[in-house]
Amino acid sequence: MYEGPQWSDISVSEVSQLPKLAKHIITSNPRFLTRSHHSHVYLIDITDHGTTSKAILKVFPKQLKERYNKEVDAYRFLYHYNVPDQGIVPKIFGVIPTLNKKAIGKLLGESMPEDAPIALPAAAVVMEYIQGAQPASPKNMTLVTAKRALDGLRTIHEAHVLHEDAEARNLLVFPEAERAVWIDFSSATINRDVSMALDEHDLLKELLYRRLVFASYNVG
């Protein structure tokens, strides 16, 4: 039985800030992916010392700066406890605390849809693009994957982070490897209440096993 996270005492002052996106990293080829209630999401190319790879750019408009702060604060604790290195959550390449008109024009160019304007000043997070992953669904959820998703959430809880939106829409899976990755921490809170971690764990368990794993047996 899961008895809750095992915590070490830590103060906010002991948790490092996330690094700003390094000036030598070149961003290019922005492609609009989606707009959520919290952010605008783009797929971009980043070039670091001559090596180009894909990355996710999450842009938070002025009125959603609180969501940016939630994501950044959660990742500060996740990095303090080395959670990204375990492959449970995407890694962060850097943050952009302020984006004015000139900066966002340089970053997004003509890729911003007319029906998805971004109020300024905005903020952004550049993070790892999870290649080959699929959104969790009855078609790709197995008992092993569900257990790994729960284990991943437990590790997140042990970093003092409550996801606060631990739903299938924020869970990516690799069907062949039966690996699970948690995304989107823009609703997350820093937590020191064991009962709240237990509640989130139990709600996720109900979701995974009743709505995804058991439903998978009826998927042809």
Q: What share of the chain is helix, strand, coil (3-state, %, to 5)?
A: 35, 25, 40
Share of the chain above pLDDT 90, in %: 79
Confidence of residue 149 (pLDDT cuts 50, 70, 90): very high
Query: Higher-confidence residue: 168 or 122?
Result: 122
Radius of gyration of the chain (CA): 18
Confidence of residue 155 (pLDDT cuts 50, 70, 90): very high
pTM for the full predicted model: 0.93
Query: pLDDT of 170-200, one tens digit each?
Result: 999 999 999 999 999 999 999 888 899 999 9
* Cα–Cα distance measured from residue 174 to residue 161, given in angstroms and rounded to the nearest whole number: 24
Alpha helix ranges (H) inside 12-134: 65-80, 101-108
117: pLDDT strictly greater than 80:
yes
Query: pLDDT of 3-60, one tens digit each?
Result: 667 777 787 778 999 999 999 999 999 999 999 999 999 999 999 999 999 999 999 9
Element (H, E) at 176: none
Which pLDDT score is estimated for 2?
66
Which pLDDT score is estimated for 220?
40
216: pLDDT strictly greater than 60:
no
What domains appear along the chain, each with residue ranges and CATH number?
14-128 (3.30.200), 134-216 (1.10.510.10)
218: pLDDT strictly greater than 60:
no
How distant, in Å, are the alpha carbons of 69, 77, 102, 189 from that of 74?
A: 8, 5, 29, 7
Query: Higher-confidence residue: 214 or 62?
Result: 62
* Cα–Cα distance measured from residue 209 to residue 56, given in angstroms and rounded to the nearest whole number: 30
CB 213 within 8 A of CB 143: yes
